[in-house]
Structure 1
Amino acid sequence: MRSPIRVLIVDDHALFAEALAARLGREPDLVILPVAEDRRRALALTATERPHVVVLDMMLAGENGLDVLDALRKRHADVRVVVLSAMSEVEAIVAALRRGAVGWLSKTESADLVARVIRSAARRGGWIPPDIMGDVLRRLLDETPEADAAAKPLAELTPREREVLQCMVDGLNRAEIAERLGLSANTVRTHTQNLLAKLDLHSALEAITLAMRAGMKPSPPPESPDPLTR
């Protein structure tokens, strides 16, 4: 049985934060820590309570959420940060991802989705809204080093890790990767965690971006058999 996921909500909107904490607290695998309303409290609670995932509002009163994200990542590199924000601009999302966030959710999303993204983040996954994924990837690709430099870290991967990475580039989820490669979901998770660690990346999205910049392309779809020869 997996250990519960410890979650810290950082949001200065008391009613929203308390309602979200109460709802997430009904999830049996989540432990919701006391809410932090500002950077000081967020850093203090992260140090003492050791959350696995921090759900961070980008618009804290008098503070830039990106600065709070920087401080969290600098002092607690292992913490997984998911941004929960009223903003949805691609530039803001890319900035947060480049500074270590592993996911971005709108405050209008359901608590069920927030819970799913928290679970994914805790297992080295992440989340970007599907309707802007293409724009985010293009921006990340524009900001990634040239192909030769991007390809060097990939040389550290084992053949199986490269296969898993190719499946990620193909847009497969963990269950689909397991089915394609004939592996268990747990084994795929281990390979994903290992390749992210070797590449010194925070999320699958960053790994896909680096792989595409290095020249990896989505696999062509399998050819349909000629109906005349079936």
Structure 2
Amino acid sequence: MQPIRVLIVDDHALFAEALAARLGREPDLVILPVAPDGRRALALAATEGPDVIVLDMTLAVENGLDVLDQVRERHPDVRVVVLTAMSDLDAMVQALRRGAIGWLSKTESADLVAQVIRSAARRGGWIPPEMLGDVLRRLLDDRPEPGGGGQVLAELTPREREVLQCMVDGLNRAEIAARLGLSANTVRTHTQNLLAKLDMHSALEAITLAMRAGMRPSMRPGHAD
């Protein structure tokens, strides 16, 4: 596998450098120079080609959400994981709506941060389990349905709908591949295609939209074809 290129955006120099040094010991992670602000982050994103950006929400002179918006606009393929001392539900929901695919507290272990970075690079995500229910309820309650959820889902192919159903069922990519008798690469392609059609930035957003359109966990075992 290709090494995962990671850009840390944090103005707390001691914390950021300590995290960079710790993650740098992971054989599959390449840690780029730390960015203390959004301007430097965008410059490094343009020249260094990170796969994953680890972004603090409380930068000294900028709102982390604004930096997130700029990253998503200029580098839509880069995966953004929030790593912050904040535990605010509203900020978390806003970050997820605006394209972040993970949210971690700075109190979490470096081992978990590394795991979430790997998941992000594979187009997975992570939310603190104790907050997942509240986040999903907020997304389901507040997110407008562009054009109507059912109408948007109607644009998916039958196979893409099967993949989305598996995502609603809580399966990861390997489990989806096993259920549908597909390769992991094919599942990744279908996932990318359905996210593009739904105009979603993350699997969580796609699952939320699917549930608003009436799709529910099926929990059916076995494979489909």
SS of the counterpart of 2:83? strand
Partners of 2:157 and 2:213 lie apart in 1 by 16
Deviation of 1:192 after TM superposition, in Å, equals 1.6
SS in 2 for 1:9: strand
Partner of 1:81: 80
Q: Counterparts of 1:99 and 1:165 in 2: how far apart (Å)? A: 20
Taking only aligned residues, the RMSD between alpha carbons, in angstroms, comes to: 1.7
- Segment drifting more, 83-92 vs 172-181: 172-181
What amino acid is the match of 1:193?
Q
Q: CA deviation at 1:170?
A: 1.3
Shift of 1:147: 8.7
* CA distance in 2: counterparts of 1:121 and 1:178, whole angstroms: 18
Check whether the contact 1:56–1:65 (CA below 8 A) recurs between aligned residues: yes
Deviation at 1:148, TM superposition (A): 6.3
- Kept in 1, the 8 Å contact 2:102–2:120? The answer is yes
How many residues of Structure 1 are paired with residues of Structure 2 in the alignment?
221
**What is the match of residue 12 of structure 1?**
11
**Cα distance between partner residues in 2 of 1:162 and 1:64:** 37
TM-score, normalization by structure 1: 0.89
1:146 deviation in Å?
Answer: 4.2
* Deviation per residue, 1:57-94 (Å, 9 max, x gap): 00111321111111212222222111001112211100
| Pairing of 1:1-230 with structure 2 (within 5 A) | 2-146=1-145, 149-219=148-218
Give secondary structure in 2 for the equivalent of 1:59. coil
Tell me if structure 1 keeps the 8 A contact 2:145–2:209.
no
Unaligned runs of 5+ in 1: 223-230
CA contact (8 A) 1:147 1:213 kept: no
The CA deviation at 1:47 is 1.4
Q: Residue 81 of structure 1: SS of its match in structure 2?
A: strand
Contact 1:56 1:81 in 2 (8 A): yes
TM-score, L = length of structure 2: 0.91
Deviation at 1:108, TM superposition (A): 1.2
